[in-house]
Amino acid sequence: MCPPCDPLRPPFPYLVSGNSVAIQCPTQQMCVQGKEWLELEEDAQKAYVMGLLDRLEVVSRERRLKVARAVLYLAQGTFGECDSEVDVLHWSRYNCFLLYQMGTFSAFLELLHMEIDNSQACSSALRKPAISIADSTELRVLLSVMYLMVENIRLERETDSYGWRTARETFRTELSFSMHNEEPFALLLFSMVTKFCSGLAPHFPIKKVLLLLWKVVMFTLGGFEQLQALKVQKREELGLPPLAEDSIQVVKSMRAASPPSYTLDLGESQLAPPPSKLRGRRGSRRQLLTKQDSLDIYNERDLFKTEEPATEEEEESAGDGERTLDGELDLLEQDPLVPPPPSQAPLSAERVAFPKGLPWTPKVRQKDIEHFLEMSRNKFIGFTLGQDTDTLVGLPRPIHESVKTLKQHKYISIADVQIKNEEELEKCPMSLGEEVVPETPCEILYQGMLYSLPQYMIALLKILLAAAPTSKAKTDSINILADVLPEEMPITVLQSMKLGIDVNRHKEIIVKSISALLLLLLKHFKLNHIYQFEYVSQHLVFANCIPLILKFFNQNILSYITAKNSISVLDYPCCTIQDLPELTTESLEAGDNNQFCWRNLFSCINLLRLLNKLTKWKHSRTMMLVVFKSAPILKRALKVKQAMLQLYVLKLLKIQTKYLGRQWRKSNMKTMSAIYQKVRHRMNDDWAYGNDIDARPWDFQAEECTLRANIEAFNSRRYDRPQDSEFSPVDNCLQSVLGQRLDLPEDFHYSYELWLEREVFSQPICWEELLQNH
């Protein structure tokens, strides 16, 4: 079913008979000094690990692989000696900390360098007509051990000892910075990705590389919670007011709204047949309504919200796949966290509650205040005062109150401060001096990625395109299934079903890792410096990231999120403890009992957030959403009843409503109402009317060109520092200049007399003229 040494599944070759497990080393069993691994003292375990590391230095490739598999068995929790899944996870975590303290990661890093530079493996893979899982056995073992170590050490627990906490920080430092004149570990993995996409190493197990890269970036830079803490800290350092709310907590408290095409309107209920005829069919809908929050129930009683007809554009793009959404929605309507109410409880009016307020605090930019005052002064006075927002002479009293309200909700972002500082450094490079750049892990990573960043982004998007479920197989596309296809193709129906499930699972994990990796990079680079974020964003846009994400969502999203491409009995650590049952075609078709595939839901949310990052406040990229007809695609995604996914879909619809025309807004009033309820309000933003002055299409190309010029100036000023710059100091002291040591060629001392005769003695020098001129 699955490739051995998968980070999420154990290597089945270790299973010998029943629960007895043996390490595949020469004459070496798991029993040490007559005891099992779990019975050994810590010193004995350390001595045993040191013996394994010593045997990793042998010349024989086969012996190194056996020892590496033994280390992998330890990293996976010595499951042959455990009785429960909890014990397997506990010993996996314990063994990973022990392996790191004994220097296992550094030893495996050297082996990984050897495998990457193994030209023989690359050439043999290139000569093969079809690459299989057997071509990457050594790489998969190494990457699996490193993945387990990074993942187990990264997770923090309150019960961790002081030694483990210290080891975690040391490990984070080793991965973040250049150690022993080597590049950071993340850059090595990025180089593996580009080498794989270029066709030089088609045998690389790209799924494991991407998974490890994502976890390394998350470990070194921090996840979303650490990112929020860093944002609060940086605002304090810049003297900015604290954030009005924690966006993570606000999104967690949100409830999903009913999909637009499945709401129960008052007009429908009046025209409906008697309930006795529809009791069985409408039971699930009544159950859905009782589980909606008070805001949704109140809105469904609104007479203004009548069912809008689908536009021709939506009908054409929906196609035949739209018909299959009706039956699958019932799966998503069931909330396992909320027990269903009794069937006899009627939907009474007492449950209807009016909304108490909007979830987000409104924000106002400095540009919005200046634009409002410019319009007001032109109307009442006849002239403007530029960027002056304090002088209100001659303006009526309501304008004073409006300006006061706008300033109360004024929000200054970290990016605004960074852009302003960058403009001052460009204007006054000498007076302001050299900028002090802190050597943070994010800064180190950006410096290492800077010159190869376009290749990195293109490689990630190529793999994402190949793993997308909507992509069609092409002869020139890269092969991302090299580490999942067996040497011999299946011959039975059961084997074919297993392979099909594993291939789909393989693609889903790739999409998950790439989407999470790109989102983490964008968010950390934006916090570190806005132009680092814009540099990555522009290369993603130039590599057609926006149409790629829209193509990904141009499918039956409900089917994608409810897909069951996994076999629970084969998942780690379940399969290591329980006896594996006999798999049949019926059990594979039935799948597990999970209503959702959280992996796919996670990927969809990440891709939507990525699309929001690329298009926010960028009118040219917003027009790309309009040109590619993203509105019907995004609106279909609203049928997934998950609050966070709906929020980012509504954000993407909000920024383009002004370009979609009045007829679209008129026929999608429920979507407009959902935007008003769930998306943050920007005062003076007439997104629902289309009167924005920024909607002029002739400024789009200039906007991108100006942004690119600013990015190039930033990278050149901070990272390109040539010695012959016009601002570099000049040494005017004759003795100092003559005393400098110059690097001369090795053969210069053989011909220096000839050089003196030709260049010095034979050249006439008029000293009087020289003194007069100088």
> Mean pLDDT for each 10-residue chunk of the chain (774 residues)?
39 31 37 78 94 92 94 95 93 97 95 91 82 92 97 95 96 87 90 94 95 97 94 95 89 82 38 42 40 36 37 44 35 34 36 61 92 91 87 92 94 95 88 86 95 96 93 74 89 90 95 98 97 97 96 94 88 84 79 84 97 94 93 95 95 92 91 93 84 56 90 93 60 78 75 79 76 65
Retrieve residue 423's tokens: 């403009």
Query: Can you say whether the dihedral through the CA atoms of 184, 187, 189, 191 is positive or negative?
Result: negative
Longest Cα pair distance anywhere in the chain, in angstroms? 119
Q: Domain boundaries in the chain?
A: 21-237+439-612, 366-410, 616-697
Closest CA to 649 of 661, 638, 660, 662: 638
Retrieve residue 607's tokens: 């891709």
Cβ(28)–Cβ(70) below 8 Å: yes
Closest CA to 338 of 291, 295, 305, 304: 291
Q: What is the C-alpha separation between 768 and 100, in angstroms, rounded? A: 74
- Other CB atoms within 10 A of residue 567 CB: 21
Secondary structure letter of residue 183 according to DSSP: -
Position 214 scores a pLDDT of 98
Burial of 154 (0-12, 13-18, 19+ CB in 10 A): middle
In DSSP notation, 216-229 reads HHHHHH--HHHHHH
Q: What is the C-alpha separation between 567 and 589, in angstroms, rounded? A: 10
Q: What is the C-alpha separation between 302 and 257, in angstroms, rounded? A: 14
Closest CA to 295 of 244, 253, 346: 253
Secondary structure letter of residue 16 according to DSSP: E
Closest CA to 545 of 599, 593, 614: 614
Burial of 359 (0-12, 13-18, 19+ CB in 10 A): middle
Retrieve residue 702's tokens: 């200039």
3-state secondary structure 405-433: HHHHCECCCHHHHHHHHHHHHHHCHHHHC
Secondary structure letter of residue 6 according to DSSP: -
Helix, strand or coil, per DSSP, at residue 621? helix
Contacts of residue 544, defined as CB under 8 A and 6 or more positions apart, other chains included, come to 461
Position 277 scores a pLDDT of 42
Q: Which amino acid belongs to residue 573? A: P
Only one residue has tokens 């392996």, namely 99
Closest CA to 613 of 549, 558, 694: 549
**Cα-based distances in Å from 364 to 370, 372, 410, 596:** 11, 11, 5, 38
Cβ(163)–Cβ(183) below 8 Å: no
**pLDDT tens-place string over residues 703-719:** 899 999 999 999 999 99
Number of Cα atoms under 13 Å in the Cβ half of residue 232? 11
Rounded to 5 degrees, φ, ψ at 692 are: -70, 135
Cβ(360)–Cβ(681) below 8 Å: yes
**Cα-based distances in Å from 63 to 11, 28, 51, 67, 74:** 17, 12, 13, 6, 17
Closest CA to 227 of 246, 253, 250, 254: 246
The angle, 0 to 180 degrees and rounded to 10, between the axes of the packed helices 619-627 and 545-553 is: 40
> Phi-psi region for residue 181, left (φ > 0), alpha (ψ -120 to 50) or beta?
left
**pLDDT tens-place string over residues 82-121:** 999 999 999 999 999 999 999 999 999 999 999 999 888 8
